[in-house]
Amino acid sequence: MAVVEVKNIEKHYSMGEITVAALRGVSASFEQGEYVAIMGPSGSGKSTFLNILGCLDIPTSGQYLLGDKDVSTLSDDELSDIRKTRIGFIFQSFNLIQQLSVIENIEVPLFYQGTGEEESRERAASLASAVGLGHRLNHHPRELSGGECQRVAIARALANDPLIILADEPTGNLDSKSGKEILDILDSLHEEGRNVIMVTHDDQVARRSGRIVRFMDGLIVEDGQDHRR
């Protein structure tokens, strides 16, 4: 069953009198439990593609099906609801709230879902423990290493039990040891049956996935499977 399906997606940006085609008729589908790496040079369309999958942007034309829902024509408020309930984000720069503790950062998606305080706190603590931060619940991002910050970001991405996890260069700001630890967590999420779609420029990172999709000039130029170690 396809969890994500895009059909003839185009995305155009107007820059003065010039129109730039970031995506030019892209079609792809991702099945339940897939671990996918999105690759391509700067300007190839991979980040635009990820933004559309994450409902952070809408296509100029084409169709995007997320689960059983056509999200390509939803309003801004409806897209916001989809982001809150069905998508987990992991960013290269972590995007943690500096004034909040580890457990409070993980609780943020649950707050927006209206989850009760006790349930929210218990789930956040459980997720923190799952990524090895059960002993750092009351620390703030400034007190954590880069790898620990990314672990918080992963726990936060899982808080709403998302349909898909989108990771944008999740090891880009980390040293090799921390990067490997984060990739090991992503591997574990995939083994649990999670849907992980990751943008990366690193071939070694991409090979940990089960499928590599390469972009060039707004098009998918390669879509290969069975790349796992």
Rounded-to-integer distance, Cα 141 and Cα 138, Å: 10
**Looking at the domain that runs over 2-225, which CATH code has it been given?**
3.40.50.300
Helices 146-158 & 102-113, crossing angle to 10 degrees? 20
Beta strand 196-199 pairing with 35-39: parallel
Q: What are phi and psi of 193, to 5 degrees?
A: 100, 10
Rounded-to-integer distance, Cα 156 and Cα 160, Å: 8
Task: Tell me the pLDDT tens digit for each residue of 196-211.
Answer: 999 999 999 999 999 9
Q: How far is CA 10 from the centre of its chain?
A: 20
Q: What is the pLDDT of residue 38?
A: 97
Nearest C-alpha neighbor of 3 from the set 112, 91, 94, 88: 88
pLDDT of residue 225 exceeding 90: no
Rounded-to-integer distance, Cα 163 and Cα 216, Å: 27
For residue 16, what pLDDT band results from cuts at 50, 70 and 90? confident
Q: Can you list the alpha helix ranges (DSSP code H) found in the chain?
A: 46-53, 76-86, 102-113, 117-130, 146-158, 176-191, 203-206
Q: What is the pLDDT of residue 194?
A: 93
CB 91 within 8 A of CB 101: no
Rounded-to-integer distance, Cα 37 and Cα 21, Å: 22
Is the pTM value of this prediction over 0.85? yes
Sheet holding 211-216, edge to edge: 87-91, 164-168, 196-199, 35-39, 211-216, 219-225
Please compute, for residue 8, the number of CA atoms within 13 A of its CA located in the half-sphere on the CB side: 2
pLDDT of residue 229 exceeding 90: no
pLDDT of residue 17 exceeding 90: no
Task: Tell me the pLDDT tens digit for each residue of 85-141.
Answer: 999 999 988 999 999 999 999 999 999 888 899 999 999 999 999 999 999 999 999
Rounded-to-integer distance, Cα 157 and Cα 101, Å: 16
Please compute, for residue 227, the number of CA atoms within 13 A of its CA located in the half-sphere on the CB side: 20
